[in-house]
Amino acid sequence: MFSAALIVYREALEAALVVGIVAAATRMIAHRDRWIALGIALGCAGALALASVADILGRWANGMGHELFNAAALAVAVAMLAWHNIWMSRHGRQYADQARALGASASKGELAMSAVAIAIALTVLREGAETVLFFYGVFAGSGASSASLAQGSILGLVAGVGTGVILYRGLVRIPLRHLFSVTSVLLLLVTAGMAAQLAQILIQADVLPPIIQPLWDTSRLLPPESSAGTLLHALVGYDAQPSATQVAFAGIVLVGVFLATRMTRRG
Amino acid sequence: MQFFKRLTQAITISSLWVAGAAPVFAEENPVSLKIKDHRFSPAELEIPAGQKRLLVIENEDSTPAEFESHSLHREKILPAKATTNIYIGPLKSGRYEFVDEFNDSTARGAVVVK
């Protein structure tokens, strides 16, 4: 039961943390709850759909269909979150300073929320599909072990979602004037982590070379299987032995968003 | 000057040729792996160091599995009753463990690179 809980917890955690940070970052935007809920709902539906065609997808692209699909989902999520980050740095101040931003700004807020909803949907879809497949394996079994696995799975799901809620609650305690910067930095790190994961999937699909593998090794400093390592992996895609390509992708996102933020502030 | 330009061209073309040959070699020399009753067989695979190889995994069980290895940097769903391809390597010599994450108490294996 515990192993099932852990498996589902790890899958749910990544999506839950992204939702928690996004929810805290977009606190002031009107109707953000609906957008986030929409993203989660679409992600869940997509996860069920993706799981149902897993074997067909696996046969595409010389057996690399899964990788290419996940890479596309990550690429779009990275683009949406990066854009959101740049947008928030330009318009976020208006929202932070005024308690309720209404009128003309509301429609711009909706645009930002649609980007975020897409990113959330894609993240829930990716992690959810693996969870659904695991659930399927659990329920296809029979007998007492299946019941205990099912209990463990639900426990893991609840714990994963709960961790996201805890993160959200923790973030919204931060004073408004700092909340904006803190969530922007967190979201940027999450986005860079997704870019690193994107690189890793493309390496796995034999589309990109690792160039140097590994670029560094922190597995003694912070083992990936430890709780801190698991949390950091779910949050920012922590890899104890990243390839040069992974680090490059993360770096490009960090530098790119930083520069774009600077440029839009001047404009 | 002409000499250096020609030399660079020669090196570039040779590198591309070698790089292009690598995946072909991997595909022509696949390594087979099977999952049955939530166990890998063989439980240990041997491949030479420095080569990219194609792992062809047949999941004979009626439930899906997830091939996962931190040391190999690979994570992939293995749909039920289906064959899945995973490229691994080039690797330095050593022992690289992998598991079926969905059944990690029984489905464990390792790639031994010499």
pLDDT grade, residue B73 (50/70/90)?
Answer: very high
Average pLDDT, integer, range B71-77: 93
CB-CB neighbours of A260 under 10 Å? 17
Return all residues near B81 (Cβ < 8 A) that are at least 6 apart.
A55, B59, B60, B61, B62
**CATH code of residue B101:** 2.60.40.420
Does residue B23 lie in a domain region? no
**What was the ipTM of the complex prediction?**
0.83
- Work out the minimum CA distance from A110 to partner chain B, whole angstroms: 36
A216 touches chain B (CB under 8 A): no
Distance CA A54, CA B104 (A): 21
Does residue B66 lie in a domain region? yes
Does residue B2 lie in a domain region? no
Q: Which of these ranges, A113-122, A130-139, A199-208, A223-232, has the smallest mean pLDDT?
A: A130-139
CA separation (Å) from A194 to A7, A234, A250, B33, B66?
Answer: 20, 10, 8, 30, 20
Does residue B54 lie in a domain region? yes
Does residue B21 lie in a domain region? no
**Beta carbons of A55 and B62 less than 8 Å apart:** no
**Residues A160/A12, Cβ–Cβ less than 8 Å:** yes
Nearest CA in chain B to A62: B85
Phi, psi of A91 (to 5 degrees): -105, -15
pLDDT tens profile A105-124: 556 678 889 999 999 999 99
DSSP B103: G
Return all residues near A189 (Cβ < 8 A) that are at least 6 apart.
A235, A236
Residue B73 tokens read as 């940097």
A66 touches chain B (CB under 8 A): yes
Q: Which domain holds residue B39?
A: 30-113
**Beta carbons of B74 and A136 less than 8 Å apart:** no
- Give the number of domains in chain B: 1
Does residue B10 lie in a domain region? no
Determine the pLDDT at residue A178: 85
Tally of CA atoms within 13 A in the half-sphere of A251 that contains its CB: 7
